[in-house]
Amino acid sequence: MKNMKRILAVMLSLTMVFTMAGCGGSDSASTDSAETATTDTADDAAATDDAAATDDAAADDTAADDTAADDTAADDTAADDTAADDAAADSGSDSTAADDVKNTGDVISVGFAQVGAESDWRMANTQSMQDTFTEENGYKFEMVDAQQKTENQITAIRDFITKGVDYIVLAPNTETGWETVFGEAKDAGIPVIIVDRMVDISDDSLYAAWVGSDFKTEGMNAAKWLADKLDEVGRGDEDINIVTLQGTMGSSAQLGRTEGFGEVAKEHSNWTILDQQSGDFTEEKGQEVMESFLKSYDDIDVVVSENDNMSFGAVTAIEAAGKTVGVDGDIWLISFDATNQGFQYMIDGKINCDVECNPLHGPRVAKIILQMEAGETPEKIAYVDEEVFDASVAEEVLPSRAY
Ligand code: AHR
């Protein structure tokens, strides 16, 4: 794919050469305009791919540049990165998975538009990317923290296009709003790889690949856990009042978890979802929304909190209101992410169940990039395997967790 960018840059240069030859000095006005056009186009080409420009200067930017050595390294790496590596990353138990997706060829520049730093999950996700896309592994990596604003991510992508990175990686804040900027990346010959959440886009050719979580299944699994647990303790036929702390509205993680939980909840006529409001995936807002739920409803049985950090805020709010929460509590708490801190809350009995959402995407994105470098077509859509953890297993499982 990097080669495709080089080809685009070479084609632009050739166009410029022929344009200049055609305008060839017959009058100063046309020469000036040709020069102006050349300068602009050259700037554009340089902006499109400064890495390619560097290679061009070294006069080795030809098909031969796509050396056997490069291909072999990429091929080997892609081939070596087997299901076992995926399993290692999926289990969250092998922090060395990044070592298996080393790029041993040219420096590859990657621009990453990250959602923000709103949660423990997000920090683990950022760490995974930073640990993978190191200079030592052959990458030039730049990350922009978009502070949970889709418009900041769009600006970051435009900036990456101007800088001419080799690959753009996006963890989309929300699902919509990407067509135009993805089109701009495509026109510049820069592949976009999507990670974590998904985009809602009519033209799938605007991105190269996506890897992330099946958020709807996560939501369904949370509801199935609740149904099983209520049966287990003999409360299966009781009226159950539920409130939901939703994540960032319009994000795949919120949409999928809300939809998945709701779909299964509909099968239980004795369950009532009293209210659903967004706590934007942060502890502070989770606490605020939980406080307002507690003021509005005095009969909450279950809180479904769409991430761990909102759960931590919910625990603070519930305890401040004089109620107990968790395994032996007045209010049950179902969480998502299964971070180390989420596990600690389960061990302390404050969270009843934590549905895993795996953030260790660095090696997975590297695998996609190396496949593309090797001329292979990566899987377009790849879901990671995820589990559901009951509080009763938390103490035993926590030591094996990587995030
Ligand atoms: O998209 C993944 C979600 O985003 C995680 O559940 C949450 O913690 C993060 O902010």
Which of 121, 257, 351 has most ligand 1 atoms within 8 Å of CB, for mutation? 121
Helices (H) and strands (E) in the chain, counts: 15, 12
Q: Is 337 in the pocket of ligand 1 (CB under 6 A)?
A: yes
Q: Whose CA is nearest to atom 6 of ligand 1?
A: 307
Measured CA to CA, the distance from residue 324 to residue 205 in angstroms comes to 50
Q: Is 118 in the pocket of ligand 1 (CB under 6 A)?
A: yes
Tell me how far the alpha carbon of residue 44 lies from the centroid of ligand 1, in angstroms: 37
How far, rounded to the nearest angstrom, does the alpha carbon of residue 310 sit from its chain's CA centroid?
19
* Strand partners for 210: 194, 381
Residue 195 has φ and ψ, to the nearest 5°, of -135, 150
Q: Is 261 in the pocket of ligand 1 (CB under 6 A)?
A: no
Tell me how far the alpha carbon of residue 75 lies from the centroid of ligand 1, in angstroms: 33
Alpha-carbon Rg for the chain in angstroms: 25
Residue 69 half-sphere exposure toward CB, CA atoms < 13 A: 5
pLDDT single digits (tens) 95-144: 444 456 677 778 999 999 999 999 999 999 999 999 999 999 999 999 99
Would you say the C-alpha torsion 353, 194, 151, 167 has a positive or negative sign? positive
Tell me how far the alpha carbon of residue 336 lies from the centroid of ligand 1, in angstroms: 8
Looking at residue 68, its pLDDT comes to: 31
Measured CA to CA, the distance from residue 28 to residue 3 in angstroms comes to 37
pTM for the model stands at 0.79
pLDDT single digits (tens) 131-190: 999 999 999 999 999 999 999 999 999 999 999 999 999 999 999 999 999 999 999 999
Measured CA to CA, the distance from residue 314 to residue 47 in angstroms comes to 47
CB 163 within 8 A of CB 43: no
Which ranges of 297-361 does DSSP label H, i.e. alpha helix? 308-320, 340-347
Question: What are the Cα distances from residue 77, in Å, to 5, 165, 379?
Answer: 22, 21, 16
Q: Is 119 in the pocket of ligand 1 (CB under 6 A)?
A: yes
Tell me how far the alpha carbon of residue 211 lies from the centroid of ligand 1, in angstroms: 14
Tell me how far the alpha carbon of residue 397 lies from the centroid of ligand 1, in angstroms: 21
Per-residue confidence in pLDDT tens, the chain, 403 aa: 454 444 443 333 333 333 333 333 332 222 222 222 222 333 333 333 333 332 332 323 333 333 333 333 333 333 333 333 443 444 444 444 445 667 777 899 999 999 999 999 999 999 999 999 999 999 999 999 999 999 999 999 999 999 999 999 999 999 999 999 999 999 999 999 999 999 999 999 999 999 999 999 999 999 999 999 999 999 999 999 999 999 999 999 999 999 999 999 999 999 999 999 999 999 999 999 999 999 999 999 999 999 999 999 999 999 999 999 999 999 999 999 999 999 999 999 999 999 999 999 999 999 999 999 999 999 999 999 999 999 999 999 999 999 9
CB 201 within 8 A of CB 229: no
Would you say the C-alpha torsion 143, 147, 153, 155 has a positive or negative sign? negative
Closest CA to 373 of 197, 109, 97, 12: 109
Domains and CATH numbers, the chain: 2-76 (no CATH), 82-212+360-386 (3.40.50.2300), 215-357 (3.40.50.2300)
Ligand 1 atom index nearest CA of 171: 1
Tell me how far the alpha carbon of residue 93 lies from the centroid of ligand 1, in angstroms: 19
